[in-house]
Chain A
Amino acid sequence: MSAASVRAEAKRLLAMSLEDGVVSADLVGAVLAALTKSRASHQLRPLLRTYLANIRRELARGEARIEHAGPLATAEADAIAAHFSKLLGRTVRPVARRNDALLAGFRVRVGDDVTDLTASLRLANLAKSLS
């Protein structure tokens, strides 16, 4: 299989793995089971690699990965996720992780988009503007 056909096949498999626009673990399991039965192992490896990358990208699109300094209440994380769900037009669930190196505030990554409201970024911008 050529690289283009592998990408097309992986994209088709990803579409089959979504349920209401969200990756479903059951559908992913079914797709993998079908693949292992229908494809030879030497054809399966590049297809699975591309499929995995697509699944990860799709999962990242559906997650708001929040890095925060200090405590962040669940309600606040939900409010952040709701904000991005409304902004992007799809359901985004919050995944929070504490990182005190940010000093204060939080940084949100949804897919390839990053929103940074941390004190460390403001200090870095201040240093950049002074130098």
Chain B
Amino acid sequence: MTFLSALLAADTAKAAAPGAPSSGPLGDIIETFGNFGVDAPHLIIQLINFAILAFVLYRFAIKPALGQMEERNRLIEKGLADAQAATQRLAEAQKASDAKLNAAADEASKILADARTVAKAAIEASRAEAQAAQTEVIAKATAAIEADRVKMMNEVRGEVSRLVVETAAKVLEQNLDDSMRGRLNEAAVKQLAR
């Protein structure tokens, strides 16, 4: 006989003798609960049944559910950590990208500045070259004009000289007679003798 069946038997016997006095404080308590409608044996049995049910529920339902919840929590935490790491990596990538963009912008600015400098230098060189060529052309033209002027002056001078000499020769030829030529020859002989 189990303990529960013994309690039920005692309860049944007490119910069969309602005029019998209660035995001890436990009996008083049970009687008090009985006066309030609480059947102690049934309560105990239900407590035991509840305990068994609670154990079974804990063992086969709550405990796996808690395990799954813990696994789920772990996965969620892992996901959150991964998300945080991803966010951090994203921030770092963004930072690196910004740095690269800044470097590229600086490089582009530098290249642009260099290109402007080179273009300016090329323009200046072309301008200087054109200026030099212009100066050279002007100098050559001036020299050619001067050479032409000198040549013309020489030609004019030569022509005038030739005309003067030819005229003088003709005048001498026409005006010199033998007596004058003879005197000139005599003077030349004296000049030779000196």
Contacts and interface: CB of A to CB of B under 8 A. Distances in A.
Interface string B162-194: 101100110011001010111011101101110
Given A83-B192, A104-B176, A130-B160, A70 B185 contact: yes
Given A71-B181, A71-B182, A105-B184, A127 B165 contact: yes
Contacts of B154: 131
B-side interface mostly: helix
Interface stretch (A29-37, A40-48, A112-120): A112-120
A86 B193 CA distance: 11
A8 to B, nearest CB: 38
A131 B186 CA distance: 31
B165 A124 contact: yes
A106 B185 contact: yes
A104 B193 contact: no
A68 interface: yes
A104 B184 contact: yes
Contacts of B172: 103-104, 119, 123
Contacts of B189: 76, 79-80, 106
Contacts of A73: 182, 186
Given A104-B176, A104-B181, A123 B168 contact: yes
A76 B186 contact: yes
Contacts of B162: 127, 131
A123 B165 contact: yes
A63 B192 CA distance: 17
A126 interface: yes
Interface string B17-30: 00000000000000
A123 B178 CA distance: 19
B169 A105 contact: no
Given A103-B169, A130-B160, A131-B158, A70 B176 contact: yes
Nearest to A104: B184
B83 to A, nearest CB: 109
25 contacts: A68-B185, A69-B185, A70-B180, A70-B182, A71-B185, A72-B182, A73-B186, A76-B186, A79-B193, A80-B192, A83-B192, A100-B173, A103-B172, A104-B181, A105-B184, A105-B185, A115-B192, A117-B188, A117-B192, A126-B161, A127-B161, A127-B164, A130-B158, A130-B164, A131-B162
Given A69-B181, A124-B165, 6 more contacts: A104-B176, A117-B188, A126-B165, A127-B162, A130-B161, A131-B157
Interface of B: 154, 157-158, 160-162, 164-165, 168-169, 172-173, 176, 178, 180-182, 184-186, 188-189, 191-193
